[in-house]
Amino acid sequence: MSRNTALVLLSLGLVFQMSHGIEVNVTKDDKLCLYANLMLNFTVSYEAADNKSQTTEFELPADAKSIDSKCDTASSILTLKFGEGHSWSVNFTLKDEVYQADVVTFTYNLSDTSVFPNSQSNETITVTEKPQTAQVPMDTCYSCKSKEVIEANKVNMTLWDVLIQAFITDGSKSENITSCAADVPTTHVPTTTVTSTTTVAPVTNTTSTSPPATTTPTPTLPTPQVGKYSLKTDQNGTTCLLANFGVRIGFKQNEKYQEMNFETNGTQSSGFCGTNSSELVLVSDDITIKLTFANDMKKFRLHALNVTAKTSSGVFVEANTNLSLWEAAVGSSYMCNKEQNYTITSLLTIYTFSLQVQPFGVTKDVFSTAEECLGDGESFLVPIAVGVALLVLILIVLLAYFIGRKRNMATGYESF
């Protein structure tokens, strides 16, 4: 994903599979002049109680209103208002029969407690961004099914499944499509996880064959450092969530598989603890990970995982909001010391090391008794099996001894 491919739908953030699309028809003189159909989500960081940073996520609702959208000859604007004082808009300009998005604006109201619980501020904040956008010919729709991203101050937005046409001249949406670069298939040479260094034999007049090429394996990543994270309640400052683990992500971007370790140095953690849902957000220089835990009052599990990574190829964003991982009884912790890997989506895999988490029911700032993963449990099977075998062997030896002794005593009595 590249910012250069973004049109109106540029945003940095985490993608949620449960979002709803919105379709907008803007008219002028009773004729269609601007059309938009898109998916859009927001992630906003703000100051909560006790000067703690908190992150909230919400989607653009399907009932957002476009009453202030308008079309002009050389400049048009798409405005979507929703909730208690929130709005998102994009300005389009037309020059030489080509249009593009000039400015993306997002306004959010921190006094809306349904979206920003425990906010210390009642301000209404506006952020703007001038994207580097694609240029779209007149009478053509811009289409981008891939995720397009942009970063604004403390705001993350994600927009995808987009179809937009600005400056419609004949009152009808065009069938002609200009696709974003991320949607255009490209030919490529398959990549592997091994790089090759070829040594070419000198040319001679003999008939002997050249020696085979030598290969040097790509160095593997070191085991990631184990980070120790915790969250405290806003009410009394007691610990409500504990998590220790090292993380590596494996992902496929532009048809190339890559791996990155999550670096613990300088990591910022935030989130919240709830009755049925808790969340931990970890931000390093290159990777943001958001873990959402759910419980049914009997057991808890990792319910959703969102990952954003800054790479040399752009920004990678992937998520799954329908997981059932790391399950344990509420009031206990989940532990898995062995390296484990989990397929989150077809593009994302995570690897965990020395994992222990407890998102609910923490007491005295320490982990409760752990329920161990199958991989760790298996480590006890061998000593248990050996112990049982030794016990059976001892019983057999003792039984044979007593039987033999009894027979000897009986034989000795009959000899008199």
**Same domain? 155 vs 253:** no
**Same domain? 307 vs 362:** yes
Q: Is residue 116 part of a domain?
A: yes
**Same domain? 263 vs 177:** no
**Same domain? 174 vs 234:** no
Q: Is residue 326 part of a domain?
A: yes
Is the per-residue pLDDT at 379 higher than 60?
no
Highest mean pLDDT among 152-156, 339-343, 383-387: 339-343
Q: Is residue 290 part of a domain?
A: yes
Q: Per this entry, what is the length of the chain?
A: 416
**Same domain? 172 vs 253:** no
Return d(Cα 327, Cα 7) in angstroms, integer: 41
Q: Is residue 205 part of a domain?
A: no
Q: Residue 253 has which token pair?
A: 């971007």
DSSP string covering 197-265: ---PPPP-SS-PPPPPPPEEEPPPPPPPPPEEEEEE-TTT--EEEEEEEEEEEEEEETTEEEEEEPP-T
**Same domain? 368 vs 237:** yes
**Same domain? 232 vs 93:** no
pLDDT band at 234 (very low <50, low <70, confident <90, very high): low
In the chain, count H helices and then E strands: 2, 28
CA angle 160, 179, 58 (to 5 degrees): 10
Q: Residue 358 has which token pair?
A: 């407890």
pLDDT band at 185 (very low <50, low <70, confident <90, very high): low
**Summary mean pLDDT of the chain:** 81
Domain that holds residue 164: 3-183
How many domains does one find in the chain? Answer: 2
**Same domain? 244 vs 362:** yes
Cα-flanking dihedrals φ and ψ of residue 387, to 5°? -60, -45
What tens digit of pLDDT does each residue of 66-85 get?
A: 989 999 988 999 999 999 99
Is the per-residue pLDDT at 210 higher than 50?
no
User: 128, 151, 183 — which closes off a domain?
Assistant: 183
Least confident range of 299-308, 323-332, 368-377: 368-377
Q: Is residue 390 part of a domain?
A: no
**Same domain? 308 vs 242:** yes
Per the confidence metrics, is the pTM higher than 0.85?
no
CB count within 10 Å of CB 147 equals 23
Q: So what's the pLDDT on residue 375?
A: 59
Consecutive H or E run containing 397: helix 381-414
Q: Is residue 9 part of a domain?
A: yes
Q: Is residue 55 part of a domain?
A: yes
Return d(Cα 167, Cα 404) in angstroms, integer: 104
Q: How far is CA 403 from CA 165, 245, 329, 409, in A?
A: 95, 56, 50, 10
Q: Is residue 221 part of a domain?
A: no
* 10-42 burial: b if 16+ Cβ within 10 Å, else e: bbbbbbbeebeebebebeeeeebbbbbbbbbbb
Return d(Cα 241, Cα 233) in angstroms, integer: 9
The DSSP output letter for 297 is S
Q: Which residue has the higher pLDDT, 392 or 94?
A: 94
Q: Residue 178 has which token pair?
A: 């200009």
Q: Is 49 helix (H, G, I), strand (E, B) or coil?
A: helix
Paired sense of beta strands 177-179 and 98-109, if any: unpaired
Are 186 and 146 in contact by the 8 Å Cβ rule? The answer is no
Nearest to 45 by CA among 174, 155, 185: 155
User: 147, 165, 183 — which closes off a domain?
Assistant: 183
Q: So what's the pLDDT on residue 314?
A: 83
Tell me the residue type at 214: T
**Same domain? 71 vs 172:** yes
Query: Can you list the alpha helix ranges (DSSP code H) found in 116-184?
Result: none
Burial of 226 (0-12, 13-18, 19+ CB in 10 A): middle
Q: Residue 336 has which token pair?
A: 């898995």
| CATH at 264 | 2.40.160.110
CA angle 135, 140, 146 (to 5 degrees): 65
Return d(Cα 368, Cα 180) in angstroms, integer: 50
Is the per-residue pLDDT at 8 higher than 70?
no
**Same domain? 44 vs 172:** yes
Q: Residue 303 has which token pair?
A: 């319910």
* For range 380-384, the mean pLDDT: 56
Nearest to 142 by CA among 211, 90, 205, 67: 90
User: 356, 372, 388 — which closes off a domain?
Assistant: 372
**Same domain? 43 vs 169:** yes
Q: Residue 396 has which token pair?
A: 């057999």
Beta bridge partners of 173: none
Cα-flanking dihedrals φ and ψ of residue 341, to 5°? -125, 145
